[in-house]
Chain A
Amino acid sequence: MSVATTTARMPRPASRSWRRFKRNSIPYLFLAPFLIGFVIFLVYPLIYSLNLSLYRTRLVGGTTYVGLENYGRALQDTNLWEGVRNVLLFGAVQIPVMLGFALIFALVLDSAILHRKTIFRLGNFLPFAVPSVVAALIWGYLYGESFGPIAQIAHALGLTPPQFLTSSGVIPALANISTWQYTGYNMLILFAALQSIPRELYEAAAVDGASGVQIALKIRIPLIAPAIILTGIFSIIGTLQLFNEPNVLTSIAPSVLNPHFTPNLYVYSLAFRSQQFDYSAAIAFTLAFVTGVLASVFFFITRQRGERQ
């Protein structure tokens, strides 16, 4: 009965809604390539890991559903928080230094002071093109205690060489690698932002008698504040996910860098060495939460300050 009525009434509304559907679906069709990739490579793994993190596999007794128990363990896990403390310590020094340099370089590059801009730009950006594993290997060599060039120069000058690969020296050593590597990248972002500032503003300021430094402080930096905040957020996220550099240096200084020196190293060693995929997933989510909180806090603080001005 219902079949008969549906077929009788179907044609008109169907064709109209089909046309509407066609019109509305076209944007999604264009989005599809991205969306499919996004779902397969990000959303699905996230759901998979989230599911994983709710179970617990024991050597004796097998797999059981434990709800949020893994998260409870993660919160009390000193290894995890020691790692978070390490990267925060690292970031508190490294991010301001790196962004400071990036800002200065970008301002210099954007001003008319410099000749041979391409060399300067390329030279600063080149370290970013070096894979971080290779970078860590290069620096591992430079830091070497008896054969490294830094130590050799210090010996030649009769000085005690700085101890990079020791428990107190390793965080500055890592910070140095990251600064070397990412300053050029951040410089490019800031430089691009500077380029979009209308030149008339500078001319007007110059007519009013502002010096170069004043223009930089009062016009250029405030105008690129959003870009600076962006690089800040990127850097915070990158810092909390520090992995490659300490991972490579581990083989060079195994007694200095432990397997949970950074949270990501810990996640990796839990999952792929100890087969604790479940707990590792819980830690990864906890870390993502911490990262999100920190990035948001940074964002709100900087935005509030910007609005006040």
Chain B
Amino acid sequence: MKKSLVFVTLIIALLLAACATPTPVPPAAPPTAVPAKPTAAPAQPTAAPAQPTKAPEQPTAAPAQPTAAPAQPTATATATPEPTKIPLAAGAVGIDFWSWVPGIQDQVNEWNATHPNIQVNYINKGNGNTEYAALNTALQANSDIPDVVQIEYQHLPSYITRGQLANLVDYGANDVKSQFVPWTWSQVSQGNGVYAYPQDAGPLVMFCNNAILDKNNIKVPTTWDEFTKAAADLHKADPNVYLANFTPDQGWYMGMLWQSGAKPFTVDGTNIKIDFTSPEVMRVAKLWDDLLKSGNLAPIDTYSNDWNTALGKGTIACWNSGAWGTFISGSAPDFKGKWKVYLMPGWKAGDKVNGNYGGSTIAVTKASAHAKEAAEFAKWLNTDPKPLVELTNPDKAGLFPVTQSTLSNKAWSDVPYDYWSGQAIHQVMAEAAQQVNPSFQWSPFTDFVYTTYADLLTQVKAGTLTLQDAMKQLQDKSVTYAKDQGFTVQ
């Protein structure tokens, strides 16, 4: 009797639990319950008795934070106050938009004011991996999935392959193809589909503190051979000072491979070619193996507090990074007017091949009930002159532009910066952006590649493995994983 009663109670409770939405981690976003016809053209809300002529009240604009870099791995999430939910006018469509770009609420407000029928609700779910964790949970639970979402280039293919993103070609993406720097467009394309709009990028450049280099008579290296020699000469001239340090970030290393002309992945549908042992990969691995072994690199990890301190004290002279790396000026205020931006050292003198490190895209999820409207917003955000100028303004979000019009806009490119020795740094960066190798592809399982690389790197840093051997292991493990995931590996 008693046992059966317990059983009954359990069953009832289970049923109750089953009725509840099965979300392991309930996302905080309120669901956009909009009783609107998704098919109705947003421009003509004829059926609506109350015409939504008046723009809804706008929440106060979030103060822009100019310091945070867009895709910087350790940047703290900029807290943007979540606006109170605006009640939608009849016939209007609600769009949930996830992004971590500082101050992007301003652009959302601008859109909402001019598009009363498509109201965007901006939510900051945190930077990079924090956002993906929330996104993956929402996708798994199939509830509270955002309509528009920021995704970094390297993770786009895994969402595309899983069929989680809408093909924007259906919503006129190809009409604006010519506005973007070609390599960024190939990054968001797969086959005939286009699955996101490029938002910003991080073409590789080299930041150098000339106060250190000049003092020790070191010339800014233009090739990797010169780079190795400069590292040795500088450390010899002053044992406390180093030319550079190793950046233990996966995206950085992939950028180095990209700059070397390597093609670790060639993906064609379910066929994949993996090549981490090509000469282009191996020369990068050997370069950093030799530098790490020589003791001429600062034994400090990029983005660590020690690294910030070293930049501030002037014991590290250069950093090869994405164009968004200008935030280091905050770590070294004493060296104002000493730093400058250079093109990356080439593998041969006069090489014009570059790589990219960081940057994001804006995608529309397949699960979106308003994909058309969501795609419209995504296109506007990344092609309309107004948000483009605002988002690329270095005093605001400071995104590195990926549209030809902004890159060639004199108001953006020709501005000299006092901190950077009066240099018009954007000219150098724009040149670097045009040189990025367009044939570099990511795998649909970047997470696996990244975690495997991170794992191997701990052994490299412990001195028990060389980067060159790590590449061979990365090759084997990636091939095994790809086969395991059902790909045909060539």
Contacts and interface: CB of A to CB of B under 8 A. Distances in A.
A225 B464 CA distance: 45
B457 A255 contact: yes
B301 A254 contact: yes
6 contacts: A44-B22, A45-B24, A79-B455, A144-B306, A255-B461, A274-B445
Contacts of A277: 140
A61 B17 CA distance: 31
Nearest to B164: A275
B461 A275 contact: no
A149 to B, nearest CB: 12
A272 B27 CA distance: 13
A253 to B, nearest CB: 7
Contact of B455 (A60, A141, A147, A259): A259
Nearest to A58: B486
For A141, A144, A167, A272, the residue with the greatest tally of chain B CB atoms inside 10 Å of its CB is A272
Given A44-B18, A167-B458, A254-B248, A275 B13 contact: no
A252 B137 contact: no
Interface in A20-40: 24-25, 28, 32, 35-36, 39-40
A40 B487 contact: no
Contact of A146 (B18, B249, B310, B484): B310
Per CB-CB distance, the 4 closest pairs between chain A and chain B, nearest first, are A60-B486, A255-B248, A272-B133, A44-B17
A45 B21 CA distance: 11
B348 to A, nearest CB: 30
A25 B270 CA distance: 59
B487 A60 contact: yes
Nearest to A59: B485
B487 A144 contact: no
Nearest to A60: B486
Contacts of A259: 451, 454-455
For B22, B74, B485, the residue with the greatest tally of chain A CB atoms inside 10 Å of its CB is B485
Interface string B132-171: 1100110110000000000000000010011000000000
B247 to A, nearest CB: 10
A244 interface: no
B444 A35 contact: no
Contacts of B300: 145-146
Contacts of A61: 486
B485 A58 contact: yes
Contacts of B458: 167, 255-258
A170 B9 CA distance: 48
B267 to A, nearest CB: 11
Interface in A35-69: 35-36, 39-40, 43-45, 48, 58-61
A123 B454 CA distance: 39
Contacts of A45: 24
B309 A272 contact: no
Given A40-B20, A260-B451, A269-B451, 20 more contacts: A24-B1, A36-B13, A40-B13, A43-B10, A43-B13, A44-B14, A44-B17, A59-B487, A60-B161, A60-B485, A146-B309, A147-B305, A255-B457, A258-B455, A259-B455, A273-B136, A274-B448, A275-B139, A275-B158, A275-B447
Contact of A260 (B5, B249, B455): B455
Contacts of B462: 166-168
B165 to A, nearest CB: 13
Interface string A151-176: 00000000000000011100000000
Interface of B: 1-2, 5-6, 9-10, 13-14, 16-18, 20, 22, 24, 74, 129, 132-133, 136-137, 139-140, 158, 161-162, 248-249, 270, 300-301, 303-306, 309-310, 444-445, 447-448, 451, 454-455, 457-458, 460-462, 484-487
A59 B447 contact: no
Contact of A28 (B5, B22, B129, B301): B5
A251 interface: yes
Nearest to A79: B455
Contact of A39 (B13, B24, B309, B484): B13
Nearest to B271: A60
A60 B461 contact: no
A206 B145 CA distance: 70
Nearest to A251: B74
Given A253-B301, A273-B451, A147 B14 contact: no
Contacts of B444: 59
A272 B137 contact: yes
Number of chain A interface residues as a range: 35 or more
Nearest to B313: A146
B151 to A, nearest CB: 13
Nearest to A163: B299
A17 to B, nearest CB: 10
B58 to A, nearest CB: 34
A24 B4 CA distance: 11
Contact of B445 (A43, A59, A168, A255): A59
A28 B453 CA distance: 54
Contact of B16 (A40, A48, A58, A141): A40
A275 B17 contact: no
Contacts of B484: 58
Nearest to B443: A59
Contacts of A145: 300, 306
B18 to A, nearest CB: 7
A286 B331 CA distance: 45
Contacts of B2: 24
Interface in A187-233: none
A272 B134 CA distance: 8
For B306, B484, B486, the residue with the greatest tally of chain A CB atoms inside 10 Å of its CB is B306
Interface string A230-246: 00000000000000000
A249 B155 CA distance: 24
Nearest to A61: B486
Given A40-B16, A146-B306, A275-B162, A48 B486 contact: no
A31 B20 CA distance: 21
A283 to B, nearest CB: 14
B17 A39 contact: yes
B445 to A, nearest CB: 7
B461 to A, nearest CB: 4
Given A60-B485, A273-B132, A273-B447, A253 B14 contact: no
Contacts of B16: 36, 39-40
Nearest to A17: B1
A28 B6 contact: yes
B137 A258 contact: no
Nearest to A20: B1
A35 B133 contact: no
A81 to B, nearest CB: 14
A247 B140 CA distance: 23
A32 B451 contact: no
Contact of A273 (B5, B20, B133): B133
Contacts of A58: 484-486
B490 to A, nearest CB: 14
A263 B258 CA distance: 33
